[in-house]
Amino acid sequence: MAEGMTGLVHKYLRHGKKFPHIWCPGCGNGIVLGSLIRAIDRLGLDKDKVALVSGIGCSGRMTTYADFNTLHTPHGRALTFGTGLKLSREDLTVIVIMGDGDATAIGGNHYIHSARRNVDMTAIIVNNQIYGMTGGQYSPTTPYGAMTTTTPYGMVEHAFDISALAVAAEASYVARCTVYHAALLDQLIESAIRKKGFSSVEVLSNCHIQFGRRNKMASPVKMLEWFKENAVRMHATSKMKPEELQGKFVIGVLADSERPSYNEEYEKVREQARGISSEPKPPARFEG
């Protein structure tokens, strides 16, 4: 019988589902699931008020295992479903899990607009730098030169920096972590959920079966060691030259700002429409 920390995690799992889960032995998705649940528990959220939305891919399977209101959406569109949920039921805490392909390839447009719009939801992007579920094709975050099934001669595109995209789109909270740094991940996810506005937490994760195996890191241990050795804390980067940061994973909080959430802004619209707004109407020309 599991007690303590893990016993608590188990309380948030669907007991009707078959465990062990379907992910490969050592898959980082399992680490993210544990971290997410610990963060939710620390926040004291009511299970009935949590909506967990996932995309398509291995990370998309997370929703069947977690005992919340769960939604598994078409590829790339999770954030749009989350937007509909949050606008309609403000009391829901909306958390959206996506893979790197789901969030930045097919879903890239929705990612940047969700950030711009500042809908109060938390995006957790499990970045394993590959399309794992479909057998190991390259994704927008596959590193230059990497071997994948659709880059049998090596990747010739350069990868997105997902968190930089979120920062540029003015997400209220942007953080990056790796599955090696699970304790930090707990904290970052907790802060991200707590934040009012759009939060993005990018988690470098290990797909040793599809990515690692073709790139000289065929075990979860090797990949976690790779994360451990190449992670650089955000506060340390100011002392480092750009060349030194090549191939490194900068982890920690990358942006944290305050901006009214979409729901807050739209509530003002409702007040104005009802004629009960105390704020003066904006001038005919737009305010910048």
Positions 33 through 92 that interact with other proteins (CB under 8 A): 33-35, 38-39, 41-42, 47-49, 51, 53, 63-64, 67-74, 77, 80-89, 91-92
Cα angle 191, 5, 43 (rounded to 5 degrees) comes to 30
Helices 182-194 and 28-43 pack at an angle, to 10 degrees, of 50
Q: Which of 45, 164, 230, 266 binds other proteins (CB under 8 A)?
A: 266
By CB under 8 A, is residue 168 in contact with other proteins? Answer: no
Cα separation, 46 vs 190, in Å, equals: 15
Cα separation, 172 vs 194, in Å, equals: 11
Cα separation, 265 vs 260, in Å, equals: 7
The 110-139 site mask, x for binding other proteins (CB under 8 A), equals: x--x--------------------------
Q: Which of 138, 180, 211, 226 binds other proteins (CB under 8 A)?
A: 180
By CB under 8 A, is residue 260 in contact with other proteins? Answer: no
Cα separation, 71 vs 271, in Å, equals: 31
Q: How far is the CB of 272 from other proteins (least distance, A)?
A: 7
By CB under 8 A, is residue 3 in contact with other proteins? Answer: yes
Positions 10 through 29 that interact with other proteins (CB under 8 A): 10, 13-14, 16-17, 19-21, 23-29
Q: Which of 95, 142, 240, 272 binds other proteins (CB under 8 A)?
A: 272
Q: Near other proteins by CB under 8 A, which window of 107-115, 166-174, 194-202, 240-248?
A: 107-115
Cα separation, 96 vs 79, in Å, equals: 7
Give the number of residues in contact with other proteins, rule: CB under 8 A.
80
Positions 191 through 220 that interact with other proteins (CB under 8 A): 219-220
Q: Are 118 and 44 in contact (CB under 8 A)?
A: no
DSSP letter at 158 equals P
In which residue are the tokens 């409702």 written?
A: 270
